[in-house]
Structure 1
């Protein structure tokens, strides 16, 4: 069978990824009721063969420097595509079943995604509990197929790479060990607990009411993250203008960025989780959000704007491997976490919402609490996922430890039945956590070099534009070294946890 050398492979891969991205976008935003990824994979089946993988591996071994890393990313994408080719039809079937799933609610039935989105806006505590239980029951009914797909992909990946241990395999792909990351974030969580515990009790009382359960269910997390009692201040209608003004202060005119294509519409089948799909950076970058009112709308917009500006700001002459491909997602998440952390700045609340200094500090504290509880959740999630995959070859994947770890870390109960729906591919939790550490380091650097009001200074935007030009080429660890930090130094992050604004 004939194979392609790296450059023609990269050109054809570019077209393939664009088609898959546009299909994913259409399903994600609710424009399509069914996913047809399998048909796209079938059309490009020649890209994902053992012979093609061997050709790329040989070229990688013969290359050096950036050229070698460029081909390595092509090889890793080919490697993933071999499993995609085998599993795309089954993954489409699961995605379409989830889209078709309905949650009984009163005298009606809600699409699963609509029911998940409604949890953020359902005002009554008891009703959120009941709806959350109904959502969990429907979602968990797909766990057997989720587990079966995980097992199949793990088997394919082990066979293709020759590495049976899922954790070791992912470490080789990312180029970083996961154990030290887990150790660092576990220490940061423990060090931050004395400040977090009273903050959690105060904000759970404020957000859920004094009659809440001592350990509320995770069904309330969307309400908590939305900071719903503050929604009269952070209205849905103002979220886009305020966020555009926030970015403009940094020197970014989002509406003038021709490559960024926002989708802000509210559709029944649109996923409630905001995202960016970089179909062809820097030319086509989709920014997708689903506003529902509340501060989380603003945070989600700014977070996804960080991704969108990164991809749309890359040098268009870079090869695909450095415009779009990466060993992981940790680099781009730095910029997203940096921008959404602006909601933790009291001055931002005072400037855009006319709040008193005291109220601005209070609301910024709420935003920091929301960010802190999310960090603690993900730090526990990484520990669970590493245990899950270490055990997987022997037990096939069980929920053991999921509820216990996440509940202890957050003070919110995460039911064991959610363990598979909550599992992102490729240890994405580790990428988030590396970005959390790095964004705190970058904020410390900006406060030192630009000023305490870094969040409204064009110098910050200029620094970011320089980083964006590099696309996905650098690692997050290289960014740490540039600004003078050890990659696992969590001191800036812990200092922010301890800060009373």
Structure 2
């Protein structure tokens, strides 16, 4: 097979990525019960060869500026494709096995995904503990295959990139150093602990009751994030209408965004985790949620709307490299974190739910608590993952430190058996954390430039549209510089984590 030039490669890659995205969407939303990614990869095998990779490397070296970066993203995608081609059948097999897995619960046979979703709505503490244990046992039974896939992927990536050390390999791809990110978020976590500890005790008392364990199991996290005792206020029936109106106040008419295709239905095999799949931005961007009641429905919708508006708002004339490819996900997560943080504004609760000032502040504080809890979880997760991958070439990956780090940071027990199911690819935890820092900076900027009620001002939407037009081209560090902050300046984040609503 003859290798393509960069332009022809980009055109064919675009079609391939659309097919893979639509397949992933169908499985994710429960329209299909088996994944057929391997067949798609096989049809486009000509894209992912060593010869093609060499052509892209040579082209990248001959370009400069934005053109060089565009080809670099094509080259990184080709590298990933070469690896994926070798392991996609095993990945499909694991995905299909997880989809087929069943959990026995109270006389029912639930799919693993349905059981995971049930944890968010199971009302009794003891029942959540019991169901969580069954879900963990079922999920962790796949750990041998997960670990074998990680080993094979690591070996292939080492060979294709020429970089044997996993952390260094990811740093080259992202264009950043990961240890300084960990240092910044660790300091932010320590500085915000005096405010978090009493907040945690108060909200766990309210959410889990006085008979809870001193260190509740992570099986209760979905219930905690849902803020289930507040469900009567934040019903799933109102979530779409309230979120659409929230976006409209910012100047975004979701119905008029032709590229955004919402999927809000509840299906048994639909993943409980909301997401956006940008199949062909800005023309086709899927916004997928599964409402279950509770404030988290609203936060999840707004979070995914941030992604959807970003991808659907890019200039159609941008090359594929700047419409959907990126070195990491830190940029698009800024906009998601910004929009879901609206639930931390007392005025939003008062305006959309008719709450008195005290109740509005109380419920906004609940949203701030779950945000702080997740930040602490991810900061500890990054530390664990850096250690995991640093020792991976010698020990093949162990759970050492997972339970200890995450439990100490959150006050929620994360069992060691969960360490591989909790392993996102490519240090996504670092992308989240950089976005946490940047979103806090952007909120500080908007309060200063637009006003404290930035979350209901069309001026905010106009500023965001200007950023969305650039697609995935800027880095999150470039956004920090534009708004007057250092890339690891956590002062705005610490101020928010420590401030009452």
TM over 0.5: yes
Structure 1 residue 480 corresponds to structure 2 residue 480: yes
User: What are the Cα deviations for residues 440-475 of structure 1, in whole angstroms up to 9, with x where unaligned?
Assistant: 000000000000000000000000000000000000
CA distance in 1, matches of 2:451, 2:499: 17
Residue 317 of structure 1 corresponds to: 317
**Farther-moved stretch of structure 1 (103-112 vs 149-158):** 103-112
Q: Structure 1 unaligned runs (5+)?
A: none
Structure 1 residue 34 corresponds to structure 2 residue 25: no
Residue 216 of structure 2 corresponds to: 216
CA distance in 1, matches of 2:2, 2:289: 43
Structure 1 residue 259 corresponds to structure 2 residue 253: no
3-state SS of paired residue (2:109): strand
Residue 89 of structure 1 corresponds to: 89
Residue 421 of structure 1 corresponds to: 421
CA distance in 1, matches of 2:254, 2:476: 24
Structure 1 residue 463 corresponds to structure 2 residue 460: no
User: What are the Cα deviations for residues 219-274 of structure 1, in whole angstroms up to 9, with x where unaligned?
Assistant: 00000000000000000000000000000000000011000000000000000000
TM-score by length of structure 2 reads 1.00
CA distance in 2, matches of 1:87, 1:500: 48
Structure 1 residue 14 corresponds to structure 2 residue 14: yes
- 4+ residue runs of structure 1 moved beyond 4 angstroms? none
CA distance in 2, matches of 1:35, 1:213: 39
Residue 48 of structure 1 corresponds to: 48
Residue 365 of structure 1 corresponds to: 365
User: What are the Cα deviations for residues 137-174 of structure 1, in whole angstroms up to 9, with x where unaligned?
Assistant: 00000000000000000000000111000000000000
Residue 71 of structure 1 corresponds to: 71
Over aligned residues, Cα RMSD in angstroms? 0.4
Residue 346 of structure 2 corresponds to: 346
Residue 155 of structure 1 corresponds to: 155
Structure 1 residue 430 corresponds to structure 2 residue 430: yes
How many residue pairs get aligned? The number is 501
Residue 183 of structure 1 corresponds to: 183
3-state SS of paired residue (1:328): coil
**Shift of residue 2 of structure 1?**
1.3
CA distance in 1, matches of 2:107, 2:464: 51
Residue 240 of structure 2 corresponds to: 240
**Shift of residue 107 of structure 1?**
1.7
3-state SS of paired residue (2:276): strand
CA distance in 1, matches of 2:361, 2:14: 47
TM-score by length of structure 1 reads 1.00
User: What are the Cα deviations for residues 405-440 of structure 1, in whole angstroms up to 9, with x where unaligned?
Assistant: 000000000000000000000000000000000000
Q: Structure 2 unaligned runs (5+)?
A: none
CA distance in 1, matches of 2:313, 2:211: 48
Residue 105 of structure 1 corresponds to: 105
3-state SS of paired residue (2:413): coil
User: What are the Cα deviations for residues 341-391 of structure 1, in whole angstroms up to 9, with x where unaligned?
Assistant: 000000000000000000000000000000000000000000000000001
CA distance in 1, matches of 2:158, 2:201: 45
Residue 499 of structure 2 corresponds to: 499
CA distance in 1, matches of 2:141, 2:169: 30
CA distance in 1, matches of 2:53, 2:185: 35
**Shift of residue 39 of structure 1?**
0.1
CA distance in 2, matches of 1:500, 1:375: 17
CA distance in 2, matches of 1:104, 1:58: 55
**Shift of residue 106 of structure 1?**
2.0
CA distance in 1, matches of 2:226, 2:197: 20
